[in-house]
Amino acid sequence: DVKVTQSSRYLVKRTGEKVFLECVQDMDHENMFWYRQDPGLGLRLIYFSYDVKMKEKGDIPEGYSVSREKKERFSLILESASTNQTSMYLCASTNLGLVAYNEQFFGPGTRLTVL
Amino acid sequence: DAKTTQPTSMDCAEGRAANLPCNHSTISGNEYVYWYRQIHSQGPQYIIHGLKNNETNEMASLIITEDRKSSTLILPHATLRDTAVYYCIVRVALTASKLTFGTGTRLQVTL
């Protein structure tokens, strides 16, 4: 089974802190995604990556950056956390290919609270 | 991606079949129907997808109408662990683009 793990299930940080959210997948997927999920707003894409050292902005990249130094690991960085970044953060991965019809595999999520 | 419409909530007795409808009247010929679910406080989970034929896997069955304007996800023997929000998504396959979830259907399985 594909496994996507995230470094923390719950995280509490203070305004202005630098926050690192880590995501690791074990199925050699090329594509990885960071979303945030908020009540009433659904799932929103922050950043995604098609390959190592490659990143693309999603719909809401402001206030975030990412790092993909290794294929299995995709990190989301909040340079200076703010209260409006309190949210559930979800990492996902997927692979393209003749048999991989684009189903995305999600991690368990990190519920981040910024005080 | 085509827009989908789902009921806000549904109830189902444990052991019975849960039939979750989805309307996607603007679906294009190259778009697939995908279903995901999200159990409370967990990440979304892929369930099944299809193009025009009915599909079945170990989790569920997917019935797509002949005109492809609607579909039904069937959980044949619902259990309490199937209580979740179910999302119907219509999108082109073989592209690694983002997922866009609507509000989904909140399925409550009861004893």
Beta bridge partner(s), residue A78: A19, A64
Structure tokens at A88: 């559930």
Q: Which residues of chain A have a CB within 8 Å of the CB of B103?
A: 42
Residues B29-43 have a mean pLDDT of 91
> Is A61 in CB contact (< 8 Å) with chain B?
no
Distance from CA of A16 to the nearest CA of B (A): 26
CA atoms within 13 Å, Cβ hemisphere of B101: 26
CA B68 to chain CA centroid, Å, is: 14
pLDDT in tens, A13-33: 999 999 999 999 998 888 899
| Residue A100 in this model has a pLDDT that exceeds 50 | no
Asked if B72 and B20 touch (Cβ cutoff 8 Å), the reply is yes
Q: Scanning the structure block, which residue is given the tokens 């368990």?
A: A108
pLDDT in tens, A38-51: 988 888 999 999 88
> Is B94 in CB contact (< 8 Å) with chain A?
yes
Q: Which residue among B43, B93, B99 places its CB closest to the CB of A109?
A: B43
Residue A99 confidence (pLDDT)? 44
> Is B101 in CB contact (< 8 Å) with chain A?
yes
Residue A26 confidence (pLDDT)? 93
Chain-chain contact of B41 with A109 (C-beta, under 8 angstroms): yes
Asked if B102 and B38 touch (Cβ cutoff 8 Å), the reply is no
